[in-house]
């Protein structure tokens, strides 16, 4: 891939993400793949909330299905698809919890309605009627009033520590470009792949 001269994957990922914002309504959307305790694949869409040399950060309810799966098996994969640009990035690695201070700072930056929603939602659990969720939103809105909404102890984030990052660029005749970076010690090995 001529547009990725780098010997590490994070700088080109950030360039591709910046470029995706020009044509994608939410360029930070990705699919998170985990496995259930019995080895079944499990995937869902999330939003990327941070990316630096340490890894890729996302947040969730720690009592959710995805958090339970990551607790049982911290191996995970992310897949970003920017169809308007004919690009995909796949990331594989191990997840670890973010520090409490980092989760607190991100939670404080969220809109108040999203903060209340984090308290109100018993994510991934059965819900008989939507009215019950709306009742819980009202309950927590009253509880916190005009006060600062603290981060719930059951809500935090994960950082995926990348071990493999693959860039895919669509080309005519299905002769796509693929470039794989694989972690080797403190550095990266760069390798082209057949389409």
2 within domain boundaries:
no
161 within domain boundaries:
yes
Q: What is the pTM of this model?
A: 0.94
Q: What is the pLDDT of residues 27-82, one digit of tens each?
A: 999 999 999 999 999 999 999 999 999 999 999 999 999 999 999 999 999 999 99
State the pairing for strand pair 75-82/87-97. Answer: antiparallel
Smallest CA-to-CA distance from 167 within 135, 144, 190 is with: 190
Expressed as residue numbers, the domain containing 179 is 10-193
Secondary structure of residue 158 in the 3-state scheme: strand
Number of domains present in the structure of the chain: 1
177 within domain boundaries:
yes
Active site residue ranges: 174
3 within domain boundaries:
no
Q: What is the pLDDT of residues 111-145, one digit of tens each?
A: 999 999 999 999 999 999 999 999 999 999 999 99
- The Cα–Cα gap between 115 and 108 comes to 8
142 within domain boundaries:
yes
| Cα–Cα distance list, 33 to 5, 38, 63, 80, 123 (Å) | 29, 15, 17, 12, 18
CA atoms 160, 161, 166, 170: torsion sign? positive
**CATH (domain of 89):** 2.30.110.10
4 within domain boundaries:
no
- The Cα–Cα gap between 78 and 128 comes to 31
Q: What is the pLDDT of residues 28-43, one digit of tens each?
A: 999 999 999 999 999 9
């Amino acid at each position: 891939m001529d547009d990725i001269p780098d010997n590490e994957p994070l700088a080109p990922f950030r360039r591709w993400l910046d470029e995706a914002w020009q044509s994608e309504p939410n360029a930070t959307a990705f699919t998170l793949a985990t496995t259930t305790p019995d080895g079944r694949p499990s995937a869902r869409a999330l939003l990327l909330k941070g990316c630096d040399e340490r890894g890729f950060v996302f947040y969730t309810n720690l009592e959710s299905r995805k958090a339970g799966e990551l607790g049982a098996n911290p191996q995970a994969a992310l897949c970003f698809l920017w169809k308007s640009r004919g690009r995909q990035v796949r990331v594989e690695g191990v997840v670890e919890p973010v520090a409490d201070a980092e989760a607190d700072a991100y939670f404080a930056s969220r809109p108040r309605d999203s903060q209340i929603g984090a308290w109100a939602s018993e994510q991934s659990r059965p819900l008989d009627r939507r009215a019950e969720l709306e009742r819980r939103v009202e309950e927590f809105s009253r509880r916190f009033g005009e006060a600062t909404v603290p981060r719930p102890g059951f809500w935090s984030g994960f950082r995926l520590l990348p071990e493999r990052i693959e860039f895919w660029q669509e080309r005519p005749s299905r002769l796509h470009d693929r470039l794989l970076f694989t972690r080797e010690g403190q550095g990266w090995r760069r390798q082209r792949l057949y389409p």
